[in-house]
């Protein structure tokens, strides 16, 4: 089975369930990934009708030519309609499914703010790779005034871009790293096709590069991007890109004028 093809189909299935009138998806995990004969998916919901629906896990089987399932390998689909309480109960009672969800798995969708710390910790769910630094894109027209005033106050909004440093540069004034964006509560590497949706990339390509104001106040000028193919990069990110292709950003620090302190 092709990993990226299976994941894309599972994402499509989960996406179709995000906007149902009676429930919302909290967590979806593809587990037993190494099983070449069957595909396994768990979806946990926040149901608006929890008292009226089963509180035990619901097991569905999707086979080829049924339910529009495209693969010869059947899909074993577990639904937890009272997701938070069911997961908490399963964790407290050492349910075997909890062990299955901890290993040989991949998170397809998550709303981390809607899940308890115990669920996130027990299932060892990470929402960003180790070493990721996040920040906000500053377009070129706004950059000059920021440099002149020395203002480095970070916005109240959520960060818009992340960089996972991969270079071994010893120069602290330069960075090279994999660009990331937040997708469904997780920070994932931007893709070759999807990156054209972000102004921090398109502005640079069009010759008007801006900068990234990182959490903590460091300001870095965008010097350019390149597409890199690297299996090593795939081992650093939460979910590898198809073909091991990544967008690598090259950044240079913009110093803060001394007289501003």
Structural domains in the chain plus CATH codes: 3-122 (3.30.460), 132-260 (no CATH)
* Closest among 155, 234, 232, 229 to 188, alpha carbons compared: 234
CB of 81 closer than 8 Å to CB of 54: yes
- Pairing, β 219-229 against β 132-138: unpaired
* pLDDT at residue 153 greater than cutoff 80: no
Bridge partner list, 29: 42, 107
The arithmetic mean of pLDDT across residues 75-88, rounded, is: 88
Q: Is 24 helix (H, G, I), strand (E, B) or coil?
A: strand
Lowest-confidence region among 30-39, 223-232, 250-259: 250-259
What pLDDT shows up at residue 48?
A: 60
Residue 3's pLDDT band (cuts 50, 70, 90): confident
* pLDDT at residue 8 greater than cutoff 70: yes
- Pairing, β 219-229 against β 211-214: antiparallel
pLDDT, greater one: 51 or 138: 138
* pLDDT at residue 261 greater than cutoff 50: no
What pLDDT shows up at residue 150?
A: 67
CB of 162 closer than 8 Å to CB of 187: yes
The arithmetic mean of pLDDT across residues 7-26, rounded, is: 84
How high is the mean pLDDT of the chain? Answer: 87
């Amino acid at each position: 089975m092709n990993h990226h093809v299976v994941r894309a189909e599972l994402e499509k299935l989960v996406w179709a369930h995000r906007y149902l009138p009676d429930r919302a998806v909290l967590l979806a995990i593809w587990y037993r990934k190494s099983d070449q004969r069957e595909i396994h998916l768990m979806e946990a919901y926040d149901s608006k009708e929890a008292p009226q629906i089963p509180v035990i896990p619901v097991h569905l089987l999707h086979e080829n030519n049924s339910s529009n399932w495209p693969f010869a390998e059947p899909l074993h689909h577990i639904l937890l309609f009272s997701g938070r309480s069911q997961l908490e109960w399963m964790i407290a009672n050492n349910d075997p499914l909890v062990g299955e969800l901890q290993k040989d798995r991949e998170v397809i969708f998550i709303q981390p703010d809607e899940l308890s710390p115990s669920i996130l910790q027990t299932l060892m769910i990470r929402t960003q790779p180790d070493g990721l630094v996040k920040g906000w894109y500053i377009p070129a027209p706004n950059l000059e005034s920021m440099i002149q005033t020395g203002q480095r106050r970070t916005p109240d909004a959520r960060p818009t871009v992340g960089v996972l440093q991969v270079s071994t540069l010893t120069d602290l004034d330069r960075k090279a790293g994999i660009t990331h964006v937040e997708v469904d509560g997780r920070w994932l590497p931007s893709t070759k096709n999807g990156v054209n949706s972000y102004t921090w990339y398109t502005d640079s390509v069009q010759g008007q590069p801006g900068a990234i104001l990182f959490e903590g106040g460091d300001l870095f000028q965008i010097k350019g991007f390149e597409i890199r193919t690297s299996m090593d990069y795939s081992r650093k990110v939460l979910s590898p890109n198809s073909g091991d292709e990544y967008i690598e950003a090259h950044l240079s620090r913009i110093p803060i004028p001394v007289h501003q302190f």
